[in-house]
């Protein structure tokens, strides 16, 4: 079975997870604003390891494959 290629590197995924959790926290603590639900977007793309927008614009933060 072929592994689906992602377009996010490790650091990119980590930042997305932190930002997503931070924004999502705004729904439950602090100002309790519904805008915090936007945090689901970076959270889900960080967990998934794939960003559709990156694919559309041709960006990849994955490390380049090593040549042997």
Q: Which residue has the higher pLDDT, 60 or 1?
A: 60
| Domain coordinates in residue numbering, the chain | 20-57
- State residue 1's pLDDT score: 41
Residue 65 vs residue 19, higher pLDDT: 19
Question: What confidence tens digit (pLDDT) does each residue in 11-56 have?
Answer: 999 999 999 999 999 999 989 999 999 999 999 999 998 989 988 9
5, pLDDT greater than 80: no
Q: Please report the pLDDT score of residue 4 as a whole number.
A: 52
Whole-angstrom Cα distance, residue 49 to residue 39?
15
């Amino acid at each position: 079975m072929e592994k689906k290629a992602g377009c996010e590197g490790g650091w990119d995924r980590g930042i997305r997870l932190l930002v997503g959790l931070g924004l999502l926290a705004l729904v439950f603590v602090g100002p309790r604003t519904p805008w915090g639900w936007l945090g689901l977007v970076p959270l889900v793309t960080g967990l998934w390891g794939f960003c559709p927008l990156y694919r559309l614009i041709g960006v990849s933060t994955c490390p380049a494959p090593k040549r042997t």
